[in-house]
Structure 1
Amino acid sequence: MADILKRDERVPEHLAGRRLDQTAAEMFPEFSRERLKGWIQQGELTIDGQKARPKDKVIGGERLALDTQLEEETRWEPQAIPLSIVFEDDDVMVIDKPAGLVVHPAAGNPDGTLLNALLHHHGALAAIPRAGIVHRLDKDTTGLMMVAKTLRAQTALVAQLQARTVSREYDAIVVGAMTAGGKVDAPIGRHPKDRQRQAVTESGKPAVTHYRVQERFRGHTHVRCRLETGRTHQIRVHLAHVRYPLIGDPVYGGRFKLPPGAGESLKTLLREFPRQALHAHKLRFEHPVSGAPIECKAPLPDDMFLLLDALREDQEAD
């Protein structure tokens, strides 16, 4: 039997002027835009109790009410893909995602994703939007992700993310020797010319990243980043914006550079590093049912561990 889904929330003032379907996607990010648009068209997602069109504009302060039956997603297949589970109970799980694993099926990646693996691990997730996934990591970013196992848990975790009470810390290895940590407070949105990229832009959404130096090398730095917001590619865009792009970043890394005097082994490792050097190492949140604090950590993956070792050896040899 399908779950009855009821949500009632007020449109934030900062979304004034947006289309209704865009506003709904911002307020209910656990659901796909296609699904939200369908609910609007069917009158199951209303604004101030009235049916509206997806393209209608909001003015801020209205009530968005969602009242629908949540049917199982049938287009995704369970697949026996190994999962590294850091924490799990009846309501939530935390997984340590490896590099190369896409989170959600999309054009070009119809299967073989984390979502397919979750459906195989726990079949009941077929009844939860996006199989319980509440936030994403890029394909080649490693580390911790929360997954809700019930609709109640998913609603609570999404609310924590929106309230910015979830603490997410990342390890990154960047090009350039930082002198100190800092904060990047710069809005992020679609790149004006390349729709596949994000960029710092005045028309973007607010985005804040805090970073601090963990270890400094001759031409690189190991930094720890804490997200205050969770925009697409946020750390990658923000660190590139302050001219410390991530090692191995194929999109935001800029022109490839080698530190002067680097040994051949380090040069080879830097040239061949297969991905952006970014790892979600710590996740802290409130349990969605009990309210108890949950903190999970994931050790550095082997490729970043070996890269740091090589940078230390190069530093000592200087």
Structure 2
Amino acid sequence: MKEIIDLTASVDESHQGERIDQVLAELFNDYSRSRLQAWLKAGHILIDGKPWRAKDKVEGGETVTLHVERDIETAAKPQPIDLSIVYQDDALIIINKPAGLVVHPGAGVQDSTLMNALLHLDPNIATVPRAGIVHRLDKDTTGLMVVARTLEAHTKLVDALQKRDIRREYEAVVQGILTGGGTIDEPIGRHPVHRTKMSVVKPGQGKPAVTHFKVLTRFPQHTHVRVQLETGRTHQIRVHMAHRRHSLIGDGTYGGRLKMPAGASDELKSMIRGFKRQALHACELSLEHPVSGEQMTWQAPLPDDMVQLLAALKRG
């Protein structure tokens, strides 16, 4: 199934001297600047009937035509999957994702994903890129996610995410004792050997990544922390904490050897060994509503497995 976008606009003389990609962002503000740049590069946008480069400057009075035929994302089929919906309106949905739910189909996972569930919940969301999914959580990370129900909302929320205007906070349980809070500012890219993993890399070899954290509770060999993302790289919290030698409990990808407190009870040993997912939960999400402009915040309490883990660590 294809969606045809066919638009025409004129460049006002007040834009004289501006780059065409800047002008396009104003003329067609339902679409993100990066998407418009990609369409311009691919020849889907013509100025006076000719292709332009993003850096070319307008004189004023040009006619801009946009013609795109794109597939609506129907590879994923609707499936009736229960979702924990924290909030919803005509523009967006806030979901509290459980552990084990993959966000969208990929290698080895073709159904039973969040995308399948969203297509069942709202069939119209098929017209929005990635079925409205604005940002991802790893399969075994729990907590809050925002989903856009319209193209306009999706564009605004993606732009807000890129501008770091969406605040995302997490709770995690890490190995080792952190003496205080701090900031990890280290670029992240593909691991040079294990290509399915991410890692901290040399400047210029990856993308900037900034993670802020503070200590909530210290235990004999573990620390409960609150984390705020400034950027949103793949596996960012897991990679940054592992880089500091404080990998998350249960992280089979980035975790090191399990650390057991001296004199730990059998119950605690069993709890730590049996915690088979990274102990990470997206607990708070704050953003400006894409339609009303209202600043909104949502919280999601810790899931039962993390509550039980913290209780066992407290008992020792």
TM-score (normalised: structure 2): 0.83
The yes-or-no answer on 1:145 pairing with 2:145 is yes
Partner of 1:273: 275
Q: List, as ranges, runs of 4+ consecutive aligned residues in structure 1 with deviation greater than 4 Å.
A: 39-42, 49-52, 60-63
Label 1:178 to 1:91 Cα distance change in 2 as closer, same or farther (>3 A): same
- Listed as ranges, the matches of 1:1-318 within 5 Å are 2=3, 4=5, 9=21, 27-28=34-35, 43-44=43-44, 61=55, 67-202=67-202, 203-314=205-316
Give me the whole-angstrom Cα distance separating, in 2, the residues matched to 1:146 and 1:67.
Answer: 30
Give me the whole-angstrom Cα distance separating, in 2, the residues matched to 1:118 and 1:100.
Answer: 16
Q: CA deviation at 1:70?
A: 4.8
Give me the whole-angstrom Cα distance separating, in 1, the residues matched to 2:206 and 2:33.
Answer: 13
CA contact (8 A) 1:5 1:70 kept: no
Label 1:139 to 1:9 Cα distance change in 2 as closer, same or farther (>3 A): farther
Query: Which secondary structure does the structure 2 equivalent of 1:230 belong to?
Result: coil
Q: Flag structure 1 segments of 5+ consecutive residues without an equivalent.
A: 11-24, 53-57
TM-score (normalised: structure 1): 0.82
Label 1:142 to 1:5 Cα distance change in 2 as closer, same or farther (>3 A): farther
Alpha-carbon RMSD across the aligned residues, in angstroms, is 2.8
Q: CA deviation at 1:46?
A: 7.6
Give me the whole-angstrom Cα distance separating, in 2, the residues matched to 1:176 and 1:45.
Answer: 54
Q: CA deviation at 1:186?
A: 0.4
CA contact (8 A) 1:185 1:209 kept: yes
C-alpha deviations, 1:214-251, integer Å up to 9, x for none? 11111100000000000000000001111111000011
**Quick check: 87-96 or 69-78, which moved more?**
69-78
Give me the whole-angstrom Cα distance separating, in 2, the residues matched to 1:50 and 1:312.
Answer: 68
Between the aligned residues of both structures, percent identity stands at: 54
Residue type of the partner of 1:190? R
C-alpha deviations, 1:9-47, integer Å up to 9, x for none? 45xxxxxxxxxxxxxx9934xx9xxxx98x689632689
**Quick check: 68-77 or 187-196, which moved more?**
68-77
Give me the whole-angstrom Cα distance separating, in 2, the residues matched to 1:146 and 1:101.
Answer: 15
Q: CA deviation at 1:68?
A: 2.1
**Quick check: 248-257 or 168-177, which moved more?**
248-257
Label 1:94 to 1:313 Cα distance change in 2 as closer, same or farther (>3 A): same
Q: Flag structure 2 segments of 5+ consecutive residues without an equivalent.
A: 8-19, 23-31, 58-64
Aligned length: 285
Residue type of the partner of 1:230? G
Q: CA deviation at 1:177?
A: 1.2
Query: Which secondary structure does the structure 2 equivalent of 1:254 belong to?
Result: coil
Query: Which secondary structure does the structure 2 equivalent of 1:111 belong to?
Result: coil
Give me the whole-angstrom Cα distance separating, in 2, the residues matched to 1:145 and 1:168.
Answer: 9
Residue type of the partner of 1:186? E
C-alpha deviations, 1:110-152, integer Å up to 9, x for none? 1110000000001101111110001000000000000000000
